[in-house]
Amino acid sequence: MRRVQTFVRREGRVTAAQARALEELLPHWSWPQGCAAPAEAFGREAPTVLEIGFGAGENLLAQAQAQPERNFIGLEVHRPGVGQLLHRAAQAGLTNLRVCTQDALEFLQQRLPEASVDRIQVWFPDPWPKKRHHKRRIIQRAHLDHFARVLRPGGELLAATDWADYAEWMREHLEAHPALENVHGAGQTAPRCAERILTRFEARGLRLGHSVADYAYRRR
Ligand SMILES: C[S@@+](CC[C@H](N)C(=O)[O-])C[C@H]1O[C@@H](n2cnc3c(N)ncnc32)[C@H](O)[C@@H]1O
């Protein structure tokens, strides 16, 4: 049976530059076929950060530029956003970034070994506000099992949302997971992650008067 997906593929407009980036650059920055570990994909052992649903990749780009000593893996199914990141990654000449357009949940299961990632960041995931769509939310027990498996002990899971209902849902699911521990004490939110850039998703939430909840959990 097909698993319920956490996204709907709406391609929107792919600009000429994005299309060119996808065609010419994706092969250079994509996760190598058949590769099953970050050390192999990057050709080095280094602390590895994984972003799920990076949108247009503003955060990954800034982080990979500012932190050459870390490996960054970006997972995003929305191809215009992937094209945008690749275009900028090429301009910046990044060598510590790999991207994959596969469903993140499949990628985690098929491409990453246990305890191979130091941080997972999931910022402003689709909120799926209607009750009948809650099963599509990326933060939920079965998905957290996959996150926990690939995180190293002590590795962190960072999440943020501007939807009050999803913030409460996140807190419940994250607190309930036996492999995760709240870095700031049971049930607590975290300070806004200083590395995060204000993307259009967070900016829209703030414009609408939403407050943003950040969470930081550690793999036990
Ligand atoms: C609301 S956007 C947020 C983008 C970005 N994190 C930001 O804050 O600007 C959520 C993104 O997650 C992506 N997404 C949702 N489920 C995904 C999955 N299973 N694998 C990869 N990407 C996914 C969507 O395509 C969408 O671009």
Per-residue pLDDT of 140-168, as tens digits, reads: 999 999 999 999 999 999 999 999 999 99
CB atoms within 10 A of CB 41: 19
Taking the model in full, what pTM does it have?
0.97
Tokens of 201: 């998703």
- pLDDT score recorded for residue 17: 85
Average pLDDT of span 113-125: 98
Residue 111 has pLDDT above 90, yes or no: yes
Does the annotation mark 145 as catalytic? no
Domains in the chain: boundaries = 23-219
* Residue ID of nearest Cα to ligand 1 atom 12: 53
Q: How far apart (Å, rounded) are the C-alpha atoms in residues 185 and 67?
A: 28
Q: What is the CATH number of domain 23-219?
A: 3.40.50.150
Type of residue at 187 = G
* Residue nearest atom 4 in ligand 1 by C-alpha distance: 55
Q: Is the shortest distance between the CB of 75 and ligand 1 below 6 Å?
A: yes
Split at pLDDT 50, 70, 90, the class of 73 is very high
Query: Is the CB of 102 inside a 6 Å radius of any atom of ligand 1?
Result: no
The active-site residue, picked from 118, 126, 162, 165, is: 126
Q: How far apart are CA 116 and CA 39, in angstroms?
A: 9
Give dist(CA 216, CA 48) in Å, integer.
17
Residue 76 beta carbon below 6 angstroms from any ligand 1 atom: yes
CA distances from 169 to 166, 182, 213 (A): 5, 15, 11
Nearest CA-CA partner of 23 in 87, 91, 103, 92: 87
Q: 3-state SS of the chain: helix, strand, coil percent to 5? A: 40, 20, 40
Give the pLDDT confidence score for residue 18 in this predicted structure: 85
Q: What is the pLDDT of residue 1?
A: 54
> What pLDDT was estimated at residue 92?
97
Task: Name the pLDDT band for 12 (thresholds 50, 70, 90).
Answer: confident
> Is the distance from the beta carbon of residue 53 to the nearest atom of ligand 1 less than 6 Å?
yes
Per-residue pLDDT averaged across 106-124, rounded?
97
Region of residue 125 (phi > 0: left; psi between -120 and 50: alpha; otherwise: beta): beta
Strand locations in 97-188 (E): 97-100, 117-123, 151-161, 180-182
Q: Which helix (H) or strand (E) holds 218?
A: strand 213-219
